[in-house]
Structure 1
Amino acid sequence: METKVFSKEEIADAAALIKAGEVVAFPTETVYGLGADATDPTAAEKVFQAKHRPADNPLIVTVADPAMVAKFATITPAAKQLMAAFWPGPLTIILPIIPGKLSMIVTGGLQTAAFRMPANALTRELITLAGRPIVGPSANLSGKPSGTRPAHVLHDFDGAIAGVLDDGPTQVGVESTVIDMTANPPAILRPGEITAAQLEPIIGPVQTDQHKVGANETPKAPGMKYKHYAPNAQVVIVDHPADWPLALQWAVKQSAPYGVLATDELLTQVPAAVPTYSLGEDLTSATHNLFAGLRWFDLHPTVKLILAEAFSPTGLGAAYMNRLNKSAGNTHFDRDTQ
């Protein structure tokens, strides 16, 4: 299969492929998604096959407007308030589905589904032209860092999907916040740019403790159960700025070459010969650049170990550290054992 890269002017051709049951990657403000007709089980199954995604990992349903959600799910008053406050935007809302309206392939066998209306106008136009919602998991092979640029999508799926709608790099860099409105109180299942502090003035208290999904349990949202965001090299998180000199000394003693993923200020401590990827100047830029940096090291296969900078897990830092911890398998540098 030839994977066609569509410009904005060719969006009608991309929509025609969606209507024909094919898979087309699409841009959002967070990461690129892997799109197919959410009302066609055969099309949705192609997404699972392309990503090598476990069948019990549900797919987000991406819509052009809230009215599209109402055809498939029961929208509670609180959910309507969230849609009014944060849509279009990086918030995914889990709702109870109307029986028989969505395939169990899409929901992972659950009677709930996750819905999102992205801020990216091009993708909302794509959905409108297709005349149906599209499934929208992140456009990466299962377990690998999410794609934030068309080149990332092509790296993973060239020849495996029908097309990519190109709108350049994404803005946020990590996936949307997922809130479960079927829980009492509502629960954040995946942190993102929209924080609990922003949600609570609208709907009251929310749960922020991450539920641990059991081996035989179907997760309600992506990213809760299976290994995610991992590059080929082992990531080791350095938690404190004061630990970097010791962490760099430790890395030199390891049997394999290492690289560093950090902000500009910390990179001044790294020897010139060491491969590095800049996360920019602060948490916002680091969140934007995280997945691109992890993917960059996959293009440098001699690097077997990546030292990565940590941030405080509050606000946007909760989303950054959620992704970084998963990419590292929760491996942190421990100065006391060195």
Structure 2
Amino acid sequence: MAEILAAGEAIERALALLEGGDVVAIPTETVYGLAGDASNGVAVARIFEAKGRPRFNPLIAHVADHGMAYRIAEFDPLSAKLAEAFWPGPLTLVLPQRPENGIHPLVTAGLDTVALRMPRGFGGELIARLGRPLAAPSANSSGRISGTTAQAVAADLGDRIRLVVDGGATPVGVESTILKVEDGKLRLLRPGGIAAEEIEQVAGAKLLRGAKGIEAPGMLASHYAPGASMRLNAQHIVRGEALLAFGRNRAENWRDAVAIRNLSETGDLREAAANLFAAMQALDRSGAKTIAVEPIPFDGLGEAINDRLARAAAPRDKIA
């Protein structure tokens, strides 16, 4: 099983493993990431191996500062403006790669673009000490629920990796928002930890939705899935189901649920996002074959929450 070390005492151990081409589960502000040296093909292959991740699904390269980012990718003026406003933080930008930028082709899945993010806290310090970007998808088996605590990561991947760095529960709780600028227009590839309204205010333009195939991480039709099936926008509960609740008003027959977790009693979408994956994992452990999910608004971070729920509920034969 993986060793679990507190973030305050783990950096030297984590660095030694990364320098040796190994992978390490680390806390970020969004979810825990499974990190490996983005310039080392062996390390990147170990990420795919540990996750059981499809090789055509690209990874995010995490950087320590703007200088590192500008050495890897070409920034148009709007992307640069967004990076200045939201980095470090839960924003990923998909950008054209610079030639000979050192990022291993496995990270970008053969695309001519690269997804970049600058994390806060332990992740940023670790990258700065390493001096190279880290490829770091969510620290979970591919297609399954993302880990928001060290214990959840160890329960899922503990027999496949050597170290989990414990930084406590992640404050944002859903993955980063992914954006791409094309011909001066801003496209949302994946909703996430920064609401679309916040981005539009800084950009001074409306976001376009939709993608042309898999252009960035987290875009598979089925993803973030528990073992149980998911039933969304539930207005009533069938006996034997588990209930993922939201707010103060309950679905009809809610007392028939075998287990209940409320994402936010007060209807706070930030609290709901932070609690989402842990609540799904808890209900999955209840033994229920189906998790019924009460309706959640789409405004603000509700867009990201509903995106994750829709992917969790998608037919499992869509997981490549």
TM-score for both structures, normalised by structure 1: 0.87
Structure 1 residues 1-338: aligned runs within 5 Å = 2-7=1-6, 8-101=8-101, 102-119=103-120, 121-182=121-182, 184-211=184-211, 213=213, 219-238=214-233, 243=235, 247-248=236-237, 251-252=238-239, 257-263=240-246, 265-266=248-249, 270-271=254-255, 274-281=258-265, 282=267, 283-300=269-286, 302-329=287-314
Higher mean displacement: 279-288 or 202-211? 202-211
Rg bigger for which structure? Answer: 1
Return the offset for 1:318.
0.6
Amino acid at match of 1:321: N
With over 3 angstroms needed to count, the CA separation of the structure-2 counterparts of 1:19 and 1:328, relative to structure 1, is same
Q: Distance in 2 between matches of 1:320 and 1:237?
A: 12
Return the offset for 1:131.
1.6
Q: Distance in 2 between matches of 1:280 and 1:182?
A: 37
Q: Distance in 2 between matches of 1:128 and 1:182?
A: 30
Q: Distance in 1 between matches of 2:284 and 2:297?
A: 26
Deviations along 1:155-211, one digit per CA (max 9) or x if unpaired, are 111121121111000011110100012464121100113223222233332433222
On the 8 A contact 1:96/1:182 being kept in 2, the answer is no
Amino acid at match of 2:3: K
1:216 alignment partner in structure 2? none
Amino acid at match of 2:215: K
List runs of 5+ in structure 2 lacking aligned partners. 316-320
1:336 alignment partner in structure 2? none
With over 3 angstroms needed to count, the CA separation of the structure-2 counterparts of 1:38 and 1:182, relative to structure 1, is farther
Q: Percent identity over the alignment?
A: 40
Return the offset for 1:53.
0.5
Return the offset for 1:64.
1.0
Deviations along 1:84-140, one digit per CA (max 9) or x if unpaired, are 111111100111001232222100100101000112x11111111222110011111
Higher mean displacement: 203-212 or 55-64? 203-212
Q: Distance in 1 between matches of 2:195 and 2:272?
A: 17
On the 8 A contact 2:222/2:313 being kept in 1, the answer is no
Return the offset for 1:267.
5.2
TM-score for both structures, normalised by structure 2: 0.91
Q: SS state of the match for residue 223, structure 2? A: coil
Structure 1 stretches of at least 4 aligned residues deviating more than 6 Å after TM superposition? none
Amino acid at match of 2:117: R
With over 3 angstroms needed to count, the CA separation of the structure-2 counterparts of 1:50 and 1:231, relative to structure 1, is same
Deviations along 1:37-76, one digit per CA (max 9) or x if unpaired, are 0010110010011111000100000111111112211122
List runs of 5+ in structure 1 lacking aligned partners. 214-218, 331-338
Give the root-mean-square deviation of aligned CA atoms: 2.0
On the 8 A contact 2:263/2:275 being kept in 1, the answer is yes
On the 8 A contact 1:15/1:127 being kept in 2, the answer is no
Q: Distance in 2 between matches of 1:38 and 1:260?
A: 40
On the 8 A contact 1:145/1:231 being kept in 2, the answer is yes
With over 3 angstroms needed to count, the CA separation of the structure-2 counterparts of 1:113 and 1:292, relative to structure 1, is same
- Provide the aligned length of Structure 1 versus Structure 2: 311
Amino acid at match of 1:276: I
On the 8 A contact 1:113/1:220 being kept in 2, the answer is no
Higher mean displacement: 2-11 or 85-94? 2-11
Q: SS state of the match for residue 95, structure 1? A: strand
On the 8 A contact 1:12/1:129 being kept in 2, the answer is no
Q: SS state of the match for residue 61, structure 2? A: strand
Q: SS state of the match for residue 238, structure 1? A: coil
Q: Distance in 2 between matches of 1:187 and 1:34?
A: 26
Amino acid at match of 2:285: L
Q: SS state of the match for residue 71, structure 1? A: helix
